[in-house]
Structure 1
Amino acid sequence: MSDQERGGVSFFWSWSYWSTFLLTWAVVPILQGYEDAGDFTVTERLKASLHVNLLFYVIVGSVALFGLILLILLHHNWSGGIIGFAMACSNTFGLVTGVFLLGFGLSEIPKSIWVNADYIHRQKVLSHKVARAALKLDDAHQNLSNAIVVSQATSKQMSKRDPLRPYMNIIDDMLKNMLDEDPSFKPQGGRLGENDMDYDNDEKSMATLRRQLRIAKEEYYRCKR
């Protein structure tokens, strides 16, 4: 292989590696945090996502810094430098994870085939799974009912002139669309706790209420499937 071809391969390998690295550790987590945030504007949702991810990066960075200091104290030298060492650790983690998953599948697939051959045992396992699924669905229904009751009660006690009323209107529209999409859903057993009505203090508390309502909805329909 000529030097020109080797340089081209090196460039494309570096580009694919670092682009994947950037997507994995920056772009995708920020988008996930943005989607999970309950804030009402793009800017606030990005801020919430960055705050959560920065906290995670600080923890991971502290662990990495501790490991780097430990290596320096142990007087270990590596010829590839810190970046090469970090890439080696990343590749090692990926290889070990891949081998672990392949080994798990290699033993789990024959085991599942062997176990499923016993119809009596399989019936007991499926009955147990159905009971657990029904229990999870009941809990999810209860949580969604509680979230709906809290949202409705908060909306009723908030005046039309309240500065937070526009945010509450967004939650009301979200709740109305939710009930219109599934008319069969009937909130039952919603109960108010001591701190369930503390959602009329600031914009952040309203964002928390919106996020909890959305999470309860997603959990319910995930269990319902």
Structure 2
Amino acid sequence: MSGAALGLEIVFVFFLALFLLHRYGDFKKQHRLVIVGTLLAWYLCFLIVFILPLDVSTTIYNRCKHAAANSSPPENSNITGLYAPATPVPSQHPCFMPWSYIPDGIMPIFWRVVYWTSQFLTWILLPFMQSYARSGGFSITGKIKTALIENAIYYGTYLLIFGAFLIYVAVNPHLHLEWNQLQTIGIAAANTWGLFLLVLLLGYGLVEIPRSYWNGAKRGYLLMKTYFKAAKLMTEKADAEETLEDVMEVSKFQPYTQSWLFFCCCVSTSMGFTLHVW
């Protein structure tokens, strides 16, 4: 197939992610950068799931070819006890090329692109976008500043720990690290942190999400929950009405207050001028 299956699955997964994003999102209300970031994140996640079987089948086929090429032919002995020249014997388990075969050299580049793009989305772009969306700033500059400060505090702890270990390695004369080893340590640390979060939040997700869907199917539970939300909204509405009445009372007497203050200022100014002349 010479990589045709890989190309077809890449195109299919892209349209699948686009369809799901259009189904569960709203392109008209969301910003274009949010749509592109979410689409890219979903696309890479689906790519890993769909392309992994192709990689596994190709790896099994390559191992089979390698084992068949390195297997030693059987040795036949003649009457004199000397070994005769070996004749090639076909393998008992022939290697069949799968329909999803991918040529050599494509998958390493593909996985590097997927991995480092996912790292950029996970550690830089998506956290910044989340902090920007949660920011309470009234301007774009204020929101960007808040997002940068929040992410700097969040990732500063990891950089501090990594810097401490790096100083320890630099001071210790028995340890020598190169750039490739530091890169490997960074990748291992990122994967460890991701697995830690996965294990930490997996139990909550496995319990809370099915529970929410189960309770959502109960009409009585939904009715009681709606009553509770309605009572809370009613209380907030009453508080807002009281605040509005107070503001209206203040604004009603504000013109008279301003006029009275202006009159007092004029009287005091005229009296001061009269005393000065006198």
* Bin for the TM-score computed over the shorter chain: 0.3 to 0.5
Determine which structure has more spread, i.e. the larger CA radius of gyration.
Answer: 2
Larger relative contact order, structure 1 or 2 (CA cutoff 8 Å, min sep 6): 1
TM-score normalised by structure 1 residue count? 0.42
